[in-house]
Structure formats: C-alpha cells, structure tokens
Chain A
Amino acid sequence: MKQLLIGFPLVCLLFVAGCDTIPPDALVLKATTLQDRKLQSRKFQTSDEIKVLVACSGLLQDLGFNLSESETKLGVLVAYKDRSAVEGGQVAVKLIIALAGGGNVPIDKNQRLKASVITKPSLENTNEIVVRVTFQRMVFNDLNQVTKLEQLKDTKQYQDFFNSLSKSLFLTANDI
C-alpha cells in the first residue's frame, strides 16, 4: 500500500513531464517524401506566376475556401473552410450505445480544412511554374475536443484539384 501511495504520484509526475516530446522523425525526410511531392505538385507551361496565383485563389473560392493569407512575392496562398465532420458510422455507434444505456459517446462534429498553395518558377525551365498544394484538417467532436489532426493524402482529391486548376488556367497540368 505504501509503495503504491509513493508510486502513484511519481507516475503522475513522469506522465506530466514526459508526454509532450517531439517524435525523433518529425523533421526528417521520409521514404515517401518524393512520392508526396509528386502527388501534390504540377507544372504549368507559363512564366506568369501572378496569373497562376490568381487562378488558384479563384479556384479556392470556387471550392468554398476563405483566403486567410497570401504573399504574392513568395507565391503563397493559404485558405481554410469549416465544414461538418459528422459520419454516419459514428452516429450509428452513438445511438446503439445510448440505447444500450451506455451514456453519451462523443462523436465528430466539425472540421477545419486548410489548403495551402505554393507556386514557384521551375528550376529546370524558366517558362514553367510549379504549383504545389497541401491539405490538412483538424476535426472536433461534439464536446469541442480535437479528435483528428492530419494531412490529407487522397490521390483523387489532388488530381481533381489540378484538373480544375488547369481548366481555369486554360493550360495543361503536367506531372513534375
């Protein structure tokens, strides 16, 4: 009993001290880095970076994003949108547990989706602009707690984004 009483606060202390350290691989390139870059980037045959940025901001607006930051000198556009994150499966589980008398289980409710578009002149060809878009999201449950923090890597979504972009630019998007 005595050991337990001493042990418990010690474990608490260790937990308080040790739970928040950066993972060792957080700032290291991964084996998938090149593949990710390919998925998230396209080349466009133009040297007009501003024109590409304007088309990107138009497309982001078409997709319901709100522009939160921009820096044309560096080719940066940042946008976000808040949407529902309710998923049928979670609602069903919540209902079943509630009916079985298990109480209120929190489920995902809202999400903030963020997109950041970066343009830069191609290193190989000065008549090309490389566009790289990255998406991430934060999901909150009905108690307003964060449940998911993730980067979105769905190939289809990136393809769709670039297809729309090439349409609004009247240019073909080429793989990098």
Chain B
Amino acid sequence: MKRFYFLGLCCFLFVLAGCQTSQQELLKTDKSQVQLRSIQTRAFDTTDREKMLRTVIATLQDLGFVIDKAEAILGSVTATKLQGYNLVMTVSVRPKGDTQLLVRASAQFNVTAVTAPKPYQDFFSTLSKAMFLEAHQVD
C-alpha cells in the first residue's frame, strides 16, 4: 500500500513536470491579445504627448515607483516598485487619430504577468485624475 502511494506521488510529480517546459514562457500569454489590449489600454482626449508622458512619470512616482527608462520619441516609460516585491510597469503613449492619445500599460509582478483588470483600472483612474481628463475604454 505504501509503495502504491509512493508510485502515485511519483506519477503526480511526473505530470506536474511534463506539462510544459519553461521555454514555452517566451511567447505565452494568459489572455487573448484583444482582451489584454482592452484591459491595458485607455484613450485620452488630448494630443499633448509630452505632457502625457510627464504625467505618467509623475503618477508612477506617486504610486511608489522609481523610473528606470523613458523615451520621448518612442513614447515609453518603464518603472519599478520595490516593496518586498518587484513590480515592473511599462507605459507607452501613442497618437490615436487627430484628437486622442492611446495609453497602454503592462505590468509584471515578480515573475508573473499582471492580466487582471483591477490593477489597470486603479492605475488609469490615478492617471486620469492627474491629467484632469477622463480615461476612455477602447474597443
């Protein structure tokens, strides 16, 4: 009987081990691309890209992040929050039509991608307050 349990446990471990290799993480996503984009993206009624980028930087600082990188031409900002955990966030800003800017945020918590909608809602709500603008959901 004891041997049976041992075998059972071994089988279980083999199943756990054989599910996937860690290399598959490279292009793996938890949600569909469309779903993820709608969670991570908002449109703002402004065309002032530099102001938006500077506000993104200020908002990230207010949220306890330390800025790692920023690029005006690419319109991207990357920042890290260390608070017992390692939270990295990349925010990109690009024009949408002639009247709007599209802001996309993506985050990584320790070694996992953040795909839940709530953290992004929190981020965009803080950002829109700082911009004095409403964040529009993008379809």
Measured CB to CB, the closest approach of chain A to B53, in angstroms, equals: 6
28 contacts between A and B (CB under 8 A): A5-B5, A22-B114, A22-B116, A24-B118, A26-B83, A26-B109, A27-B123, A27-B126, A29-B62, A29-B63, A36-B62, A40-B61, A69-B68, A74-B54, A75-B54, A76-B69, A78-B68, A78-B69, A116-B67, A118-B57, A120-B54, A120-B58, A132-B58, A136-B80, A136-B82, A149-B82, A151-B64, A151-B82
Residues of chain B at interface, number, CB under 8 A: 44
Measured CB to CB, the closest approach of chain B to A72, in angstroms, equals: 9
> Which A residues form the contact surface with B (CB < 8 A)?
1-2, 5, 9, 13, 20-24, 26-30, 33, 36-37, 40, 69, 71, 73-76, 78, 114-116, 118, 120, 132, 134-138, 149-151
Compute the total of residue contacts between A and B using a CB distance below 8 Å: 111
Specify the chain A residue showing the minimal Cβ separation from B4.
A5
> Which B residues form the contact surface with A (CB < 8 A)?
5, 8-9, 12, 16, 50, 53-54, 57-58, 61-72, 77, 80-87, 107, 109-112, 114, 116, 118-120, 122-123, 126
